[in-house]
DNA sequence: CGATCCATTGAAAGATGTCAAGCGTAGTGG
DNA sequence: CCACTACGCTTGACATCTTTCAATGGATCG
């Protein structure tokens, strides 16, 4: 349990610096995005309401608790943490979002966000105005079901996080997180073995509901057991089976 | 952490025994239900796809992990627990659902449920076939947004549960649960002071991620502090302010 | 290059879990 | 209707995991 000690930072300067291929057509992340399975003119119409390549620097907020929910984001590159604060200012990280992940579906449209989202590194997102999305959905109903599916996934993820926090020891929790990051990396065509942990040890601890010191000790222990090879943010999983065994 | 030791029970016999006013028109729970703000023929159409008053006895399952998600339920009366199991069979209760609550929105349509839902007492639900709901939504778009809203609420609830598990001491967690039950009771026109806890101490412990013994000791302590007056399932909150103070 | 934050490690304290036992209540069956 | 059994709840004693406190070295950033 730690108090929020982060300095209040202003919102990111929204600089729309186009990347190469800053369009949904041919985007490699389409299958994970809200544009999933869209084709032809539906995809073109969708593409036209999307603001591609919004850049955020490390520490910038995508939005903050209290902001109005009017935009859905998908991560083009980089990573984010989503967190919620309690009455006393204590912070709980709920999710680490990486490439392809959809961010913001945790508030009612036009109501206030209860969470905040902060970039863990230089990152780019696509931004989709919710009102325009819903307008478009009126003529392309699959956009409704796509949104419903995305929200179901969020609920399941959140349930699994509760399972993680509720039933596992600290060591199991860390092992589970590493496995999850590995799998998500692999699903995106990256290495499932070499991980770049862009979040701090404190963030990891917060997500797992463990003190920084505990996390540090756990890394050391996994290292001694020759299950991982960790140097700061770089972690190599050297014994995947053993890691799985610990996680379960 | 406890292993699932519940006997495998068959699904509930689905007996459609009509209650008085087994219709959405004039139903006191409409504002919480998916029928929220529906009027006129839209409401009639919605009503016609709903199977009202399905009875479940204590211990009956509404659905189990692995079942196909094809039906949404709303609780008419009684209460339920929703839980998820990990690979080792450990169980984590995610939610206690009571009158007016919408149950089942934690899977993709036509995919498998990852959770199970079990009645804590004799209960009645309304059951809504998802495919017919979506058909109807094609002509009544507000049904889409109503569903989206319901799912947003679930996500926020789940996030708050993670906050609960992640940042608070066992005593704070129990106090928070009691307050939440009190508020939900009050919001439904019942007493916010006298609570009927239909779940076992073990269930409470599981939900809060604490051992039964810990929960028992916490009840005793809150009793000694003259904050609550607990006799088994009946709990009277005698000092709401003190309870709030502990929760925060 | 200083200041600050992050990560690691040790030592000690504390909260919660586990084990064990007893009690009460509820349901079952004779 | 009563006795018996099973299960849920409570309480005590003890074990242990994790936190907290403290100190140090290393990395990062302006």
In the predicted structure, residue B9 carries a pLDDT above the cut 80: no
What gap in Å lies between CA B204 and CA A31, rounded to an integer? 40
- Comparing CB atoms, the residue among B148, B163, B168 nearest residue A151 is B148
pLDDT tens track for B196-224:
999 999 999 999 999 999 999 999 999 99
The model's pTM is 0.88
Through-space separation of residue A74 CA and nucleotide C9 C1' in angstroms = 40
- Comparing CB atoms, the residue among B1, B138, B158 nearest residue A159 is B158
What gap in Å lies between CA B102 and CA B117, rounded to an integer? 12
Interface test with A, best of B139, B166, B167, B206 (most A CBs within 10 A): B166
Q: Which residues lie closer than 8 Å to B17 by C-beta, 6 or more apart? A: B53, B55
Burial A212-239 (b: 16+ CB within 10 A, else e): eebbeebbeebeeeebbebeeeebebee
pLDDT (tens, 9 = 90+) of chain A, 248 residues, equals 333 333 334 444 444 444 445 788 888 888 889 989 888 898 999 999 998 889 999 999 999 999 999 999 999 999 999 999 988 888 999 999 999 999 999 999 999 999 999 999 999 999 999 999 999 998 988 899 999 999 999 999 999 999 999 999 999 999 999 999 999 999 998 989 999 999 999 999 999 999 999 999 999 999 999 999 998 899 999 999 999 999 98
Through-space separation of residue A219 CA and nucleotide C4 C1' in angstroms = 24
Q: Are the C-beta atoms of B84 and B206 separated by less than 8 Å?
A: no
What gap in Å lies between CA A234 and CA A194, rounded to an integer? 7
pLDDT score, position A82: 96
pLDDT tens track for A137-187:
989 888 999 999 999 999 999 999 999 999 999 999 999 999 999 999 999
What gap in Å lies between CA A159 and CA A173, rounded to an integer? 14
In the predicted structure, residue B3 carries a pLDDT above the cut 50: no
pLDDT score, position A20: 45
Q: Which two structure tokens, joined as six digits, stand for B78? A: 């009684």
In the predicted structure, residue B143 carries a pLDDT above the cut 80: yes
Q: What's the mean pLDDT in B113-133?
A: 95
- Residue A54 in contact with partner chain B when CB distance is under 8 A: no
- Residue B105 in contact with partner chain A when CB distance is under 8 A: yes
**Spatial CA neighbour of A123 closest among A29, A186, A53, A184:** A53
- Comparing CB atoms, the residue among B115, B148, B152 nearest residue A159 is B115
pLDDT averaged over every residue in chain B: 89
> How many interface pairs between A and B have CB atoms less than 8 angstroms apart?
121
Through-space separation of residue A38 CA and nucleotide D23 C1' in angstroms = 58
What gap in Å lies between CA A101 and CA A20, rounded to an integer? 20
Q: What's the mean pLDDT in B65-93?
A: 93
The B 207-226 residues near strand C by Cβ under 7 Å are: 209-211, 213-214
Q: Cβ A161–B162 below 8 Å, yes or no?
A: yes
Point out the residue nearest to C16 (C-alpha to C1'): B214
- Residue B225 in contact with partner chain A when CB distance is under 8 A: no
Through-space separation of residue A13 CA and nucleotide C28 C1' in angstroms = 72
Kindly state the percentage of chain A with pLDDT values over 90. Answer: 74
Through-space separation of residue A165 CA and nucleotide C28 C1' in angstroms = 40
**How far off is chain A from B87, nearest CA to CA, in Å?**
7
**Spatial CA neighbour of A63 closest among A19, A107, A101:** A107
First to last CA, chain A: 25
B-chain residue closest to A167, CA distance: B1
pLDDT tens track for B24-67:
888 888 888 998 888 888 888 899 999 888 999 999 999 999 99
pLDDT score, position B124: 93
Domains annotated for chain A, with CATH where assigned, are 30-161 (2.60.120.10), 168-247 (1.10.10.10)
Determine how many CB atoms are found less than 10 A away from the CB of residue A195. 20
pLDDT score, position A21: 57
Of the pLDDT bands very low, low, confident and very high (cuts 50, 70, 90), residue B71 is: very high
The CA radius of gyration of chain B, in Å to the nearest whole number, is: 19
- Comparing CB atoms, the residue among A91, A154, A162 nearest residue B161 is A162
| Nearest nt (C1') from A169 Cα | D17
Q: Cβ B159–A108 below 8 Å, yes or no?
A: no
């Amino acid at each position: 349990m730690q108090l929020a000690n982060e300095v209040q930072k202003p919102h990111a300067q929204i600089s729309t610096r186009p990347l190469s291929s800053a369009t949904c057509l041919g985007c490699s992340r389409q299958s994970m995005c809200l544009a999933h399975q869209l084709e032809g003119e539906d995809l073109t119409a969708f593409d036209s309401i999307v603001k591609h390549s919004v850049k955020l620097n490390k520490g910038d907020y995508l939005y903050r608790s209290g902001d109005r929910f009017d935009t859905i984001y998908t991560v083009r590159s980089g990573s984010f943490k989503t967190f919620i604060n309690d009455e006393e200012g204590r912070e709980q990280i709920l999710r680490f979002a990486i490439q392809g992940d959809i961010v913001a579906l945790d508030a009612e449209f036009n109501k206030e966000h209860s969470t905040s989202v902060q970039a863990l590194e230089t990152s780019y997102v696509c931004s989709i105005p919710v009102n325009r999305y819903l307008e478009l959905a009126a003529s392309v109903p699959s956009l409704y079901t796509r949104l419903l599916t995305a929200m179901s996934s969020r609920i399941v993820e959140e349930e699994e996080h509760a399972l993680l926090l509720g039933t596992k020891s600290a060591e199991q929790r860390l092992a589970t997180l590493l496995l999850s990051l590995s799998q998500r990396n692999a699903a995106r065509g990256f290495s499932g073995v070499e991980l770049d942990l862009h979040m701090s040890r404190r963030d990891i601890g917060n997500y797992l509901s463990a003190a920084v010191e505990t996390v540090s000790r756990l890394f050391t222990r996994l290292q001694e057991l020759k299950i991982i090879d960790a140097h700061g943010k770089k972690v190599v999983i050297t014994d995947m089976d053993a890691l799985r065994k610990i996680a379960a």
